[in-house]
Amino acid sequence: MLAWIVDEKDIEPHVPVWDKTERKNDSFSSNDFYWNEETEEYRCPAGNVLRSEWRAFKNERSHVTKANTIIFRSRQTDCATCPMKAKCCPNTPIRKIVRSVHEAARDVARRIAATLEYVRSRHERKKVEMLFAHLKRILKLDRLRLRGMSGASDEFTLAAAV
Protein backbone atom coordinates (compact mmCIF):
# COMPACT_ATOMS: atom_id res chain seq x y z
CA MET A 1 0.00 0.00 0.00
CA LEU A 2 2.80 2.41 0.88
CA ALA A 3 4.59 1.63 -2.39
CA TRP A 4 1.38 2.34 -4.31
CA ILE A 5 1.04 5.73 -2.58
CA VAL A 6 4.66 6.71 -3.21
CA ASP A 7 5.38 5.19 -6.63
CA GLU A 8 2.09 5.22 -8.53
CA LYS A 9 0.19 8.13 -6.97
CA ASP A 10 3.28 10.25 -6.20
CA ILE A 11 1.93 11.25 -2.77
CA GLU A 12 4.14 12.11 0.19
CA PRO A 13 3.19 9.64 2.94
CA HIS A 14 2.86 11.36 6.30
CA VAL A 15 2.42 8.10 8.18
CA PRO A 16 4.73 6.39 10.66
CA VAL A 17 6.69 3.38 9.42
CA TRP A 18 6.55 0.43 11.79
CA ASP A 19 10.15 -0.61 12.16
CA LYS A 20 10.94 -3.70 14.20
CA THR A 21 14.58 -4.04 13.20
CA GLU A 22 15.98 -3.16 16.63
CA ARG A 23 16.97 -6.23 18.60
CA LYS A 24 16.34 -6.82 22.28
CA ASN A 25 19.78 -8.24 22.95
CA ASP A 26 23.03 -6.39 22.31
CA SER A 27 23.54 -7.71 18.77
CA PHE A 28 23.56 -5.68 15.54
CA SER A 29 20.22 -4.65 14.08
CA SER A 30 19.63 -4.58 10.34
CA ASN A 31 20.11 -0.79 10.47
CA ASP A 32 23.78 -1.40 11.24
CA PHE A 33 24.20 -3.07 7.85
CA TYR A 34 24.90 -0.99 4.73
CA TRP A 35 22.53 -1.48 1.77
CA ASN A 36 24.08 -1.13 -1.70
CA GLU A 37 21.35 -0.28 -4.20
CA GLU A 38 23.45 -0.99 -7.31
CA THR A 39 24.53 -4.51 -6.37
CA GLU A 40 21.40 -5.22 -4.29
CA GLU A 41 23.28 -6.61 -1.33
CA TYR A 42 24.00 -5.77 2.29
CA ARG A 43 27.40 -5.28 3.87
CA CYS A 44 27.89 -6.13 7.52
CA PRO A 45 29.92 -3.90 9.87
CA ALA A 46 32.89 -6.26 9.35
CA GLY A 47 32.65 -5.82 5.56
CA ASN A 48 31.19 -9.21 4.62
CA VAL A 49 28.47 -9.46 1.98
CA LEU A 50 24.88 -10.66 2.45
CA ARG A 51 23.11 -11.69 -0.77
CA SER A 52 19.76 -13.14 -1.74
CA GLU A 53 21.51 -15.79 -3.84
CA TRP A 54 25.00 -17.19 -3.80
CA ARG A 55 24.92 -19.33 -6.93
CA ALA A 56 23.56 -19.06 -10.44
CA PHE A 57 20.35 -20.96 -11.08
CA LYS A 58 19.32 -22.52 -14.37
CA ASN A 59 15.94 -20.82 -14.15
CA GLU A 60 15.77 -17.21 -12.99
CA ARG A 61 14.33 -16.88 -9.46
CA SER A 62 12.81 -13.83 -7.83
CA HIS A 63 13.55 -14.91 -4.22
CA VAL A 64 10.42 -13.03 -3.09
CA THR A 65 8.60 -14.80 -0.25
CA LYS A 66 4.83 -14.93 0.27
CA ALA A 67 5.21 -12.01 2.68
CA ASN A 68 6.71 -9.84 -0.13
CA THR A 69 10.18 -9.95 1.39
CA ILE A 70 13.60 -11.05 0.20
CA ILE A 71 15.93 -12.87 2.59
CA PHE A 72 19.58 -11.89 2.42
CA ARG A 73 22.10 -14.35 3.89
CA SER A 74 25.79 -14.24 4.60
CA ARG A 75 28.21 -17.08 3.89
CA GLN A 76 28.81 -19.49 6.72
CA THR A 77 32.57 -19.36 6.12
CA ASP A 78 32.53 -15.56 6.46
CA CYS A 79 30.59 -15.67 9.74
CA ALA A 80 32.68 -18.50 11.21
CA THR A 81 35.90 -16.49 10.91
CA CYS A 82 34.40 -13.07 11.67
CA PRO A 83 35.65 -11.33 14.84
CA MET A 84 32.22 -9.66 15.29
CA LYS A 85 30.19 -12.90 15.21
CA ALA A 86 29.34 -12.67 18.92
CA LYS A 87 27.71 -9.28 18.33
CA CYS A 88 26.18 -10.11 14.95
CA CYS A 89 24.73 -13.64 15.06
CA PRO A 90 25.62 -15.27 18.38
CA ASN A 91 23.08 -18.13 18.22
CA THR A 92 23.05 -18.92 14.50
CA PRO A 93 25.75 -20.00 12.04
CA ILE A 94 24.89 -17.21 9.56
CA ARG A 95 23.23 -13.80 9.62
CA LYS A 96 19.93 -13.28 7.78
CA ILE A 97 18.29 -9.95 7.01
CA VAL A 98 14.73 -9.77 5.72
CA ARG A 99 14.07 -6.84 3.38
CA SER A 100 10.66 -5.81 2.10
CA VAL A 101 10.26 -5.47 -1.66
CA HIS A 102 8.68 -2.09 -0.85
CA GLU A 103 11.66 -0.90 1.21
CA ALA A 104 12.32 2.03 -1.15
CA ALA A 105 8.87 3.44 -0.36
CA ARG A 106 9.46 2.82 3.34
CA ASP A 107 12.73 4.79 3.07
CA VAL A 108 10.83 7.71 1.53
CA ALA A 109 8.39 7.66 4.46
CA ARG A 110 11.29 7.51 6.95
CA ARG A 111 12.95 10.54 5.32
CA ILE A 112 9.68 12.48 5.47
CA ALA A 113 9.22 11.50 9.13
CA ALA A 114 12.46 13.31 9.97
CA THR A 115 11.16 16.67 8.70
CA LEU A 116 9.40 19.49 10.54
CA GLU A 117 6.46 19.36 8.10
CA TYR A 118 5.81 15.77 9.19
CA VAL A 119 5.58 16.79 12.85
CA ARG A 120 3.23 19.63 11.93
CA SER A 121 0.99 17.41 9.78
CA ARG A 122 0.81 14.73 12.48
CA HIS A 123 -0.27 17.39 14.97
CA GLU A 124 -2.96 18.70 12.61
CA ARG A 125 -4.12 15.17 11.83
CA LYS A 126 -5.08 14.68 15.48
CA LYS A 127 -7.68 17.45 15.15
CA VAL A 128 -9.30 15.84 12.10
CA GLU A 129 -9.19 12.34 13.60
CA MET A 130 -10.90 13.62 16.74
CA LEU A 131 -13.77 15.06 14.69
CA PHE A 132 -14.24 11.78 12.83
CA ALA A 133 -14.15 9.88 16.12
CA HIS A 134 -16.88 12.17 17.42
CA LEU A 135 -18.99 11.54 14.31
CA LYS A 136 -18.52 7.79 14.58
CA ARG A 137 -19.02 7.27 18.30
CA ILE A 138 -21.27 10.05 19.55
CA LEU A 139 -23.44 10.61 16.48
CA LYS A 140 -23.40 6.90 15.51
CA LEU A 141 -22.12 7.65 11.99
CA ASP A 142 -20.10 4.44 11.93
CA ARG A 143 -21.21 3.64 8.39
CA LEU A 144 -22.83 5.56 5.57
CA ARG A 145 -26.34 4.47 4.66
CA LEU A 146 -26.77 6.40 1.40
CA ARG A 147 -24.88 5.36 -1.73
CA GLY A 148 -22.50 7.42 -3.83
CA MET A 149 -20.61 10.63 -3.27
CA SER A 150 -23.77 12.74 -3.15
CA GLY A 151 -25.26 10.43 -0.50
CA ALA A 152 -22.10 10.62 1.58
CA SER A 153 -22.06 14.40 1.19
CA ASP A 154 -25.69 14.62 2.33
CA GLU A 155 -25.04 12.43 5.38
CA PHE A 156 -22.00 14.46 6.43
CA THR A 157 -23.93 17.70 5.95
CA LEU A 158 -26.70 16.42 8.22
CA ALA A 159 -24.14 15.20 10.78
CA ALA A 160 -22.39 18.59 10.72
CA ALA A 161 -25.70 20.35 11.31
CA VAL A 162 -26.34 18.34 14.47
The amino acid at residue 30 is: S
Q: CB–CB of 28/88 below 8 Å? A: yes
Report pLDDT for 119.
92
The structural domains of the chain, with segments of one domain joined by +, span 18-100, 115-161
Average pLDDT for consecutive 10-residue bins of the chain (162 residues)? 87 86 82 92 94 87 89 94 91 92 91 93 89 84 87 87 78
Of the candidates 91, 110, 109, 84, which has an alpha carbon nearest to the alpha carbon of residue 31?
Answer: 110
- Whether the full predicted model's pTM is greater than 0.85, yes or no, is no
Report pLDDT for 41.
93
Report pLDDT for 128.
86
